[in-house]
Amino acid sequence: MLRALICASALVLPLSAFAFTAGDLNRLCMKTDVASRSACAAYIEGAADGVFNTIDAIGGTTGPRVGQYFCLPPDARTAQLTDAVRRYIADNPNIIGYNASTAVSLGLGKTFPCKPGS
């Protein structure tokens, strides 16, 4: 019986997974406690780093290329990244169902677009 329960749990677990959406990220970032603000900033920095590394793996990040969403200045601060993403979500409420990392890419792309030759 225990073996059957474990097998059934293993099959149900993947069905209960959910995506972290732009709406979820926005709600997290709107909170004022230190833990939530830190988690918001960490998610945005991590997503930005993940997108950057993915682009690097498929062809480089030394300038605007197909698929490059944003070009961060070397002196970009965490607060600037967070503000850019929050502003983008607020200005585009239709994206609240998007994956949160997509919202990060779009928000950073709006604020930090790649310039030709950069």
User: Which domains can be identified in the chain, with CATH numbers?
Assistant: 19-111 (1.10.890.40)
8 has a pLDDT exceeding 60: no
112 has a pLDDT exceeding 50: yes
Separation between Cα atoms, residue 57 and residue 77, nearest integer Å: 24
Separation between Cα atoms, residue 105 and residue 53, nearest integer Å: 13
Given a contact cutoff of 8 angstroms between Cβ atoms, the answer to whether 28 and 104 are in contact is no
User: What's the pLDDT tens digit per position in 22-60?
Assistant: 999 999 999 999 999 999 999 999 999 888 777 766 665
4 has a pLDDT exceeding 50: no
User: What's the pLDDT tens digit per position in 11-25?
Assistant: 444 444 468 999 999
